[in-house]
Structure 1
């Protein structure tokens, strides 16, 4: 069947009707002409891109822009995900490295069963950790450095938490405990000449009241480490655990040359192109939303003037295209995410999680919007148009 090309009754935004040219002979004809013009404008506004193309040959620039945008921001998200995966892998491997460096006789997979049972073993493990901390430069194959606060090294903190007062006598089955907790700490500097055993001479563990022993230290490559000897159960088994609080800081002075540098600059340029594309999409969709709102006000004014009726909210909302709103939100999120990604790539910021949220949400919204636009709803199907 032939496709109809009748375009009668369609408002042409490039050739609007001029009242002066027609010069209607009566007020009734003038009103009828205005009503007809408004009807054509509304009919044209609610056409989908294919119908507008069939009616006036108007190319669907916004749709084509969205298809291009969905391709490039998907590539951007996948690229950032691979880069973020490298960071996650580095954190995991770094944690494993510290377990092998600071936990005595540790083997992979032992954390669930890694524990000590004798008081002498607790002291031996603490001494071992302090010794390994002082010998870190000579032992590790990684690039690790002690943290400095000005010109002074940040000390290792050896802290024990225990009940203020308490006595437990299994023979008489009596327990007397003051539940208030106290903390006692010892600072150990990495450049101290003393041996660990000498440092611990004046640091006695109160095993009868002991809740936990925590050894906390900061080491650059990336993270804050805490080794905990957990004795809260008082079961005779003190579980040992190593926790990490990772903090990635921006580089204060960095220089990269060669292929890696060129690749980094290309990625930054690609992110800039995505930002410009999303900004263009944002402007086009915002313009369309504004046009719809202005047309809504014109329709409301017409209804009040000629029929004296108020337009219900359901009819008003028909003039606000939800797809455009979704694309505007998507563009905003993607622009913010692209800026963060450029900052991360330039070693200025390290907000990987925040950037992932913006880019991931923006990509999801643009996929939803484009799929909806391209035919998941009836009014967006590109069928035949009859004027």
Structure 2
């Protein structure tokens, strides 16, 4: 018999094995009546063969007098509390402890470790393939620049900073026409002399023309003498086709057909002119085909076919007297026509990699299912725990305790699996269909590999030495985030100020992005002297003094103050975590106090006794074939079994 002080409700257990709820304390008369009914029931049961009618009347009489037996909504037996406590303790165990406790095989851990090997191997092979693909496109573009741009120098192919040469541009009208004439001539004559496997994109076996497109203002003129000008508001574009026959002529001296590639003469011949005052830009457009043979060093003979849509641009939009010259080659893949017999070995290798990608997809989907199941079970356990604390102990679980049931590692692994599956599908499509998905495939596979390696930290978290570092990052994240927001506000102010004031005079501040990158490099101590020395006193004396003050203040504030405080925030959290480890652990919460009310550890046999046989993969057959014994007790069984009459 148990009396609860919270709602003053009496709950006791009769010999029927039922809980009796009475709103007030029972009197002696009530207890005596209950005992008499118990004795009457046993007495009539012993004479049931000779007094059947009397037994029926007594039974009906008893049922009319029988009180209502209901389970209290807020009642938890000690066995139920211990069961919940063990569930919580098991939930927060490491995979090795779970194996020791209930022989639960750590499938998620094994799958994550195998995923690291599979995804990394997949990424390495794709990296070699994509590197070959991108290198071919880049080097082909460089080849086109050497072929079609007069005066192109290898020094222009180096990194943009520090630039060994200036901008590749034209400054005179004669040089402008020389660039156009050279491109026209090379397009018609360079193919037999080119080392690369390039050819014009001929259709119906006819040599395709190249197109000269001019973008200009109609009725535009400029008079620098008196500072007057007139322009139509909207520029227009005109294109003309240039064929080889347009420049041919008969040489009477040699009695042969020769070619004169002169754009200026040809434009006069068709009554066209170029007015540089109204000219916005001039473009040469043509198409070239090429075949890329790759992966010979890996024992695979593969080919890719491309259509390069080449555009040579002479940009006069700035009207500064400098007309930059650029070449852009847009590659479009198409299916190659293979005339030789199909290489069975190559097809077998391709099929092997497709099967490999399918295996990666299967492992990723399995990982997603297992992690989703763990998240769902954790939320169910959280709901049961919140209800227990509310009903049994009259307290609400804190947000920190509730968040203990939300495993962010599993969420990251699920996101990683989804990204990896998408990347693997892209890779399979690349192997089966001629389509340019290298960039999307690289982004997804690279991000997936990054996250799958991050997932290893979850298992390092089970070791104390590594756990200190991971907990430090976790606990310092809110403080670091708030600190970075404040630092970002100051950083944005310096970025916009440097872009506006120093941008016209400093190559590192020409754009907002460049200004931000320059300041971030200064925070890390990179290239400081060059940043100071780019602006000289010859440019503008006021800007020179301002640039010095600007850079000195920025470097002092961010390196000596903000960066030092940032390190101090993380160091302070690390010292706190280390102190807790050295002095008995972290302060206990309501959840941890409830779990630690028992001294049982993961070696306790009670865990395996209460195991209801979760259907994991290692016990699938046993789980499916097992039948639950209805006589086995559980947490919902009555505390006192009813007596059986023989």
Task: Indicate whether the TM-score tops 0.5.
Answer: yes
Which residue is 2:284 aligned to? 215
Listed as ranges, the gaps of 5+ residues in structure 1 are 1-22
Which residue is 1:241 aligned to? 326
Per-residue deviation at 1:341? Answer: 1.0
- Point out the more displaced range, 338-347 or 255-264: 255-264
Which structure would you say has the larger RCO, counting Cα contacts within 8 Å and 6 or more residues apart?
1
Which of 438, 452, 467 is matched with 1:377 structurally?
Answer: 467
1:48-87 aligned at under 5 Å gives the runs 48-87=94-133
TM normalised by structure 2 equals: 0.50
Cα distance, 1:379–1:107 mapped onto 2, change above 3 Å? closer
1:293-312 aligned at under 5 Å gives the runs 293-312=379-398
Per-residue deviation at 1:92? Answer: 1.3
CA RMSD for the aligned pairs? 3.4
Cα distance, 1:227–1:143 mapped onto 2, change above 3 Å? closer
Listed as ranges, the gaps of 5+ residues in structure 2 are 1-15, 20-70, 158-165, 248-260, 290-305, 472-600, 605-646
Which of 211, 214, 217 is matched with 1:160 structurally?
Answer: 214
Per-residue deviation at 1:318? Answer: 1.4
Cα distance, 1:94–1:31 mapped onto 2, change above 3 Å? same
Per-residue deviation at 1:44? Answer: 0.8
Larger Rg: 2
CA contact (8 A) 1:103 1:129 kept: yes
Please give the alpha-carbon distance, in whole angstroms, between the structure 1 residues aligned to 2:356 and 2:197: 33
Instruction: Give the total of aligned pairs.
Output: 359
Is residue 336 from structure 1 mapped to residue 391 from structure 2 by the alignment? no
1:1-387 aligned at under 5 Å gives the runs 31-109=77-155, 112=166, 114-135=168-189, 137-140=191-194, 141-146=196-201, 156-170=210-224, 172-178=225-231, 180-188=233-241, 193-195=245-247, 197=262, 199-200=266-267, 201-202=269-270, 203-220=272-289, 221-232=306-317, 234=319, 236-244=321-329, 246-251=330-335, 257-375=343-461, 376-377=466-467, 387=604
Cα distance, 1:256–1:370 mapped onto 2, change above 3 Å? farther
Which residue is 1:17 aligned to? none
CA contact (8 A) 1:333 1:358 kept: yes
CA contact (8 A) 1:158 1:214 kept: yes
CA contact (8 A) 2:288 2:309 kept: yes
1:308-331 residue CA offsets vs partner (Å, 9 max, x unmatched)? 544343322211211111111111
TM normalised by structure 1 equals: 0.79
Please give the alpha-carbon distance, in whole angstroms, between the structure 1 residues aligned to 2:102 and 2:360: 31
1:103-127 residue CA offsets vs partner (Å, 9 max, x unmatched)? 2354433584644444344334323
Per-residue deviation at 1:338? Answer: 0.8
Cα distance, 1:329–1:152 mapped onto 2, change above 3 Å? farther
CA contact (8 A) 1:24 1:30 kept: no
Which residue is 2:524 aligned to? none
Please give the alpha-carbon distance, in whole angstroms, between the structure 1 residues aligned to 2:365 and 2:99: 24
